[in-house]
Each structure stands twice: as structure tokens, then as C-alpha cells.
Amino acid sequence: MSEKYQVLIIGAGPAGYVAAIRCAQLGMKTACIEKWVDNKGAVKLGGTCLNVGCIPSKALLDSSHKFVEAKHDFDIHGISVDEVKMDVAKMLARKEKIVTQLTGGIGGLFKANGVTSIVGKGKLLANKQVEVTNEAGEQTIYHADHIIIAAGSVPVAIPPAPLVDDVVVDSTGALEFTAVPKRLGVIGAGVIGLELGSVWARLGAKVTVLEALDEFLPAVDMTIAKETKKVFKKQGLDIRLGTRVTATSVTGEGDAREVTVEYSDASGTKSETFDKLIVCVGRRPLSESLLAPDCGVTLDERGFVFVNEQCETDARDVYAVGDIVRGPMLAHKGSEEGVMVAERIAGKKTQINYDNIPGVIYTHPEIAWIGKNEQELKAAGHDYKVGTFPFSASGRAMAANETTGMVKMIADATTDRILGCHIIGPSAADLVQQVVIAIEFGASSEDLALTVFSHPTLSETVHEAALAVAGHAIHIPNKPPRKK
């Protein structure tokens, strides 16, 4: 039997590593177990987010956006560039450098805070013990007063489209294409399909997105989803709704390999051939071979670790956080759960507000939202007021040549309390955060309307949308207040 810890954490993604740091800050003897190692056997901290998710995808989104700006948008500012070329290898190397810097940074933070890093695959046993198997197959049993499960998620696979080398890939493979595919197929018009589809479309790929549902982005406010579809169409993304992929086959040799996708839609069965195919139809919790049958932790019907609002599992003193539990699969949701659990273990009464977790799709323009959308409020019979403001009426957006999109603010019809905000536009991710803070403090749309915003900023669109809720927007003609 090895050393005893106050807190043992399984998984060093954004849920686990943040929990570990907070536990250590609170004075607890903490260790974090991680199985991800590089080809030299060194541990890779940071989980999906830092290694193959949020960070590398945003690095490629930023590189490809700069390419588009240089190629198409500089001219309007009077800047001419002779020939714009993309060096894909250099773009990938930059992405890797950022990943290495950040994952190494977590190691530094562990050291600085006194978190012990344990390398190997953890399995929860009964009585708060964890068996860790290292690369060599050696097993060690650790025990702790408290255990936090943060083992995360992996991409969902679908039988008609098994992964094949670098031809049919999941999101991880789509971050590694060494050349721009001429014809890129994407299965799933969700967050990953739109973000990674955009990366390669910007660099010149002809991108076709096959989506099973008849509706585009059903979880996004309907006005914003409609506008988003228009914008993507203009950008050249061919999004085909109501399609069911039935089979895929890879043919050819070496660089000439291609994949033929058979699918059906309302008009019958079809097939299309691509150079590369990304399968991004969701992620699933990584809960298999993680729990001994007698550990006391139970799973729900979809394989998520079952927890309550405080992230307590069915086993005493065992918690679970992040993608492995219910709720949106978002890095910031998992991190905040990690902090909440650490603080509750330390005796505090911390509770995160699950109704106030923002969502973002990092395309260009960005799509971001917080709170309830219009279709949800309609379905719930909740009376609300709406104010919108277009970026085309913002002086700062015009100066930046970023006039596509709008801010849509929704407030309670009676109390005026802000219920939601939905944005498509430049820096939407940062703009929506202002409303997240407003909602956290119970603000009304009038509170935002009475707040002084710097001029000229993109933030003024949030201010104007709040003013528009009461029909007082200054820089657009007001429509009669829209109430439901």
C-alpha cells in the first residue's frame, strides 16, 4: 500500500487539474493521476482541452482566419499583398508549440502548488482506493479521504464511418491534416463540424457537412441559428440537413486515397467522394474500465457518472466533474465544477450556477449565448421582451469591417430581469461574458441600459440591445417593443 492523500483526482483535464490546484491551494495533500503520455513516456497534462481540443482548434482557427483576412479583407483597408500562401506545416508547428507550452505550464503549476503528479491509468476500487497501472503494466494502490473522478470524454464512433488512418478521422485527426484537402466531408453540423470545417474551408477546401437532423443548430436561439446558416453558406460551407450516412469506403493508395460516403436524404440515396472525412457526431463519457463493480459509483443510462448538483456520486466522499458527468461538455463548466468540489471538500458551501454557463462556437463571426433562448421561453409559456441590435449599426464594427451579425437580448416581460443573450458577430464570445456577469448579479435589461459603455467599442452593441428591449435604442430606429 502506498502513500495516503487527502484528495486523489483521476484525470488531468481542465476539470481535474483545476480541482487539483484548488485542493492544494486549500491546504490539502493532493495527487492527480493521468494516463496520457507522449512518445517518450512523459505525462501530458491538460486533457482533451489543451492537447486535442479547445486550444489546438483555436490556434488553427486563428491562423486560418488571418489567412482569409490577408487574402480577402486587407484590400478594403487599402493594403495590398502580392501573394498570400499558407504553409500548413508551419501552422501545425505553431499549434503544437502552444500546446506544449500550455501542457508544460500545468506541470509547473502542479509543482508550484504542491500537487503530486501520478502517471498511469486509474481505476476506482471500493473504500476510496485507486489502482494505478503504469505503462509497464505495474500496479500501485493509492488511497485517499476524498476522490474526484475527472476522466473526461472521447469522440463518439458510428458504425457506417469507422476511422481509417488519416482519411476518415475524428476531431483529433482533423487537427493534423498535413495538406489542405481539396474535398472535405464532415459528418455532423455541431460545434466541432463547424469550427474544424471552417478551418479547412478558409484554407481552400470545398467543405460538405452532412447533418442527420432536419434543423440547423437546434440548441441555438432560432434567430441566431438562421443568421448563422446564411453566413456559413456565404462562406462556402455546404451544409446538408436531414442526411443519414449509411456507409463509407476508402479506396486508392497513398496520397491518392479517397473516401466515398453513401447517404440518404428526403430525395433518396446518394453518394459523394471526398479526400478526407471528419466524423464529429458528439462525444461520450470515458467511464468504461474506470470503476470496479463494488466501488459504489453508479452510471446513468448514457454512461455518465451519476452525480447531484454538488457533483457528489453515490459513493460517499467520491465526486465526479467535467465531461464525465451530465451537462454541457465544456472546459469552463468542468473547471468550475472542479473548484466547487475542492471548496466543498474544504468545508465551504460553494455552489455553481448551472443556469449561467455560456456557450460559444468559435467560427467567424463567433456565435455565443447565455441563458434561455426564444424557442425555450415560448415552449415554457414564459412572457418575455426582446431587443436586438445589428453590428452594421456599430461605428466600431464598421471601422473594423466586421458588420455581420447582431446581439439579441431577452428579458422577463414583467420584472425585466435578463433571461438570455444571443450573439452572432465579432468577438461574440467576449461580448456575451458581459451579460453572463449581469445575469449572475440578477441584473435587469434596464440595469445594463443605465450602465456607461466606452465609445467606440463592440460592447456598445450589448448596451444598445439592452436599450432596445424597452424600445430606447439610440443608433437604430426602434421597432415597437416585441413582447411574448
Residues in contact with ligand NAD by CB under 6 A are 158, 187-193, 195, 210-213, 245, 280-283, 328-330, 360-362
Shortest separation between residue 319's beta carbon and ligand NAD, angstroms: 21
Residue 7 DSSP SS3: strand
Q: Which does 282 bind (CB under 5 to 8 A by kind): ligand NAD, ligand FAD, none?
A: ligand NAD
Using an 8 Å Cβ cutoff, are 405 and 423 in contact?
yes
Q: Which does 35 bind (CB under 5 to 8 A by kind): ligand FAD, ligand NAD, none?
A: ligand FAD
Catalytic residue (one of 455, 463, 472, 475): 455
Q: Which of 282, 266, 344, 49 is nearest to 175 (CA)?
A: 49
Shortest separation between residue 198's beta carbon and ligand NAD, angstroms: 11
The C-alpha cell that represents 260 in the structure block: 466515398
Q: Which stretch binds ligand FAD (CB under 6 A): 98-106, 237-245, 301-309, 318-326?
A: 318-326
Determine, following the binding rule CB under 6 A, whether residue 7 of this chain makes contact with ligand FAD. no
Determine, following the binding rule CB under 6 A, whether residue 36 of this chain makes contact with ligand FAD. yes
Q: Which residues contact 415 (CB under 8 A, 6 or more apart)?
A: 444
Task: Return the axis-axis angle of helices 460-469 and 428-440, rounded to nearest 10°.
Answer: 50
Q: Which does 213 bind (CB under 5 to 8 A by kind): ligand NAD, ligand FAD, none?
A: ligand NAD
Number of residues that bind ligand FAD (CB under 6 A): 36
Q: Which does 290 bind (CB under 5 to 8 A by kind): ligand FAD, ligand NAD, none?
A: ligand FAD
Residue 335 DSSP SS3: helix
Determine, following the binding rule CB under 6 A, whether residue 231 of this chain makes contact with ligand FAD. no
* Element containing residue 254 per DSSP (H, E): none
Q: How far apart are alpha carbons 279 and 169 in whole angstroms?
A: 6
The C-alpha cell that represents 452 in the structure block: 456607461
| DSSP designation for 70 | I
Give 78-128 as a DSSP string.
T---S-----HHHHHHHHHHHHHHHHHHHHHHHHHHTPEEEESEEEEETTT
> Do you know the residue count of the chain?
484
Determine, following the binding rule CB under 6 A, whether residue 118 of this chain makes contact with ligand FAD. no
Of the pair 231, 321, the CB lying nearest ligand FAD is at 321
If you search the block for the grid coordinates 482519411, which residue do you land on? 167
If you search the block for the grid coordinates 480541482, which residue do you land on? 19
Shortest separation between residue 174's beta carbon and ligand FAD, angstroms: 8
Among 57, 228, 404, 459, binds ligand FAD (CB under 6 A): 57
Q: How far apart are alpha carbons 95 and 115 in whole angstroms?
A: 27
Using an 8 Å Cβ cutoff, are 59 and 141 in contact?
no
Shortest separation between residue 423's beta carbon and ligand FAD, angstroms: 16
**CB hemisphere CA count around 388 (13 angstroms):** 18
Q: Which does 473 bind (CB under 5 to 8 A by kind): ligand NAD, ligand FAD, none?
A: none
Residue nearest to ligand NAD (CB): 190
Shortest separation between residue 366's beta carbon and ligand FAD, angstroms: 11
Determine, following the binding rule CB under 6 A, whether residue 14 of this chain makes contact with ligand FAD. yes
Q: Which stretch binds ligand FAD (CB under 6 A): 44-52, 208-216, 262-270, 383-391?
A: 44-52
Using an 8 Å Cβ cutoff, are 46 and 102 in contact?
yes
Among 9, 34, 128, 462, binds ligand FAD (CB under 6 A): 34
Strands (E), 283-365: 283-285, 318-320, 359-361
The two counts, helices (H) then strands (E), for the chain are: 13, 23
| DSSP designation for 68 | H
Is 455 considered catalytic here?
Answer: yes
Determine, following the binding rule CB under 6 A, whether residue 336 of this chain makes contact with ligand FAD. no
Residues classed as catalytic = 455
Residues forming contacts to ligand FAD in the complex (CB under 6 A) are 10-16, 33-36, 47-49, 53-54, 57, 121-122, 150-153, 171, 192, 286, 290, 322-324, 329-332, 334, 362
